[in-house]
Structure 1
Amino acid sequence: MTGGHVILPGEIRTRAEIHAVFGGSPQRGIAPSIEKRSVVLFSDPEEAAVRGYRDGWLAEEDVQGPIYEYTGAGSNGDQTFVGARGSGNRAVLRHSQQGRMLHLFVRAGKVPGSGTKTHRYVGMFTLDDELPFVPRQGLDENGKKRTTIVFRLRPYGQFERSHTDVLTPARHTTAEFVPRAVTIDMLQSAAVTKGTFVAPDLRSADTSAMLAAAAKGKLVQVNKVHTPEFPRSASAATTVRQRRALLIESYVAYLESQGHTVGSFQIKIKGKTSTLRTDLFDATDHVLYEAQGASDRDSVRLALGRLLDYRRYVRQCDRQHAPDTVVLLPGRPDRDVEALLKDHETSLVYRTKGGGFEKSL
């Protein structure tokens, strides 16, 4: 901090005081600062309620600890990482590569006797390595359906976890069919963030087209997407995620070329604050897909486990039975793994060496 000023978690400050310490725009909900090496995030529960979402801590922790869900910028239409509208979201996504830390504030009230808003400092954060954000279906301020970008923040150092900031558990278990929109893996192949993503050349026409299409909720036709040369610095896990992204988009393009309606299911479970989202759902044939970027036994077991979990909730109003389940892979696994899928009444679709797809029952 400069000038001897420090703001500690739990302390309440005005926007002007926050700006003096962390910099950034004095008005925007996401305020990046090059000089202060920061990206300041402001969350306002009242404003969020009007716009149909809520930020907060997940009640469920994983092995890495707590997660705070923070909704990206953009009040109307699909949220994006592209162009001027997506500049704030881009700053969050790339904060680590740009040497900035995320600082989160929650609206607290007003200065007594004035209309000046105050904000409570929650602490310093970074994006989750494995799943930095998720696309989520919601409503904009005009009540129209749209896709929001929900960042998954991990606390870094000292932080305040107030019970008032914990998300409310779902009252009922629901599974909602939602259109394909901004996908995690699609953007993993075209964006940059800590650990998880590599940095392909964003000047590439193909990469830029994929990123722009993802932000608009559209798919790039398979014949316009070329498999990128993965940088040598890319980890094996990153390469697998990128292959998975391209596999999903290619297969979606194939299904849609056959006239199928393809989307996903957004699942909320009673008593839980987290939201599940499936990879693919073919509404035309009532089929649930889970994809992997590798065809080894562990990858297939992970996909199978997710399918068995999701299948319990996925239903269509015109279908009485659970959907068929399919594991989508970049190549054919060994025969024993195929037998495992067959034992669980799950089919296999894999990409052939010629670039097509083949189904194994």
Structure 2
Amino acid sequence: MPLTPELLRALPKAVLHDHLDGGLRPQTVLDLCREQGLQPPGGSGASAEDVARWFAGSADSGSLELYLETFSRTLELMQTAPALRRIAREFVEDMVADGVVYAETRWAPMQHLAGGLALVEAVDAVQAGLEEGMASARAAGRPILVGQLLCFLRHLAPMPELVDVAAARREQGVWGVDLAGPELGFPAAPFREQFDRAREAGLRVTVHAGEADGLTSIRDALDCGAERLGHGVRLVEDLSADGRPGPIAARVREDGICLEVCPSSNLQTGAADSMAAHPAGALLRAGIPLSISSDNRLMSRTRTSRELARLAEAFDWTLEDVGRTVLAGIDAGFGPEAERRALREDVIVPAFAAAERRQAEQV
């Protein structure tokens, strides 16, 4: 049984790395521009397809810094509670449509206060949308568990209030904190105190590292207590020609630090030159835990099943290889352990086992 896009879309998946402000539907961009009196990307007569092309083309720069500039167009639309609630609800709907059963959406609430929202009001609006989406999916018999990660931004000063809000909402769907934004020249170390506070409050910590900067940035993130690495693909620089890990890669492997790998955006930001040369193949062979995600579905015109399909084609991955990445994702998730375990054992493992049986029957 070939690993077709249809098969990969139908299989249950875990998404660890998907930005709320990078996953708006093109039609939602048009609708919110109209409601807020803003010119849509692509011009006043733009269609949803025009908007989709504009974002993907603008993001396809080969530079993380230029890639990040496209977010100014989505952020300006996400300054009210109704807009945040809608986008969060649609996030869940789009995950369900792609066969995802576990997802974390990350965003930086401090970027959504220009319209007068308080930090906690913005977080609560997103959670309300996520809850609506999950309730609708479950009513339709589609199990899914979704939560939030709140992002610090490397180029801004640490914001202690972010941990306070996250800690207060830990039992209501805020599972952890992240460090995002321009990586090169902005180390993680200044945020270490906030990460320590987050862990003391029972929150989990992930850090974008190893995308626009290399091993020094990865080591910095690990030293700050990162439990996962956002992207992390430049860890491949610590593998020998025959795949043996150096000290940093060995640390990642031995500590079970999962890499949140997003292939299409890595090509757009210059972290990889081509899909055939993407580090995911070598990293998986070296035993590094990998989870595959979509990062920014609007900017990359993608979804997680497409990301898996691209890697499977590039590296001749088997169903077992794909299953390894999905299980790595659910195991490294920051959501409630009992619920993750139930999804793993009752949904993911049986679905992959059934697919493997069908595949064996066709041989």
TM-score by length of 2: 0.31
Q: TM-score, normalised by structure 1?
A: 0.31
Larger Rg: 1
The structure that is strand-richer by fraction is 1
More helix per residue: 2
Query: Could you say which structure has the greater relative contact order, defined with CA pairs below 8 angstroms and 6 or more residues apart?
Result: 2
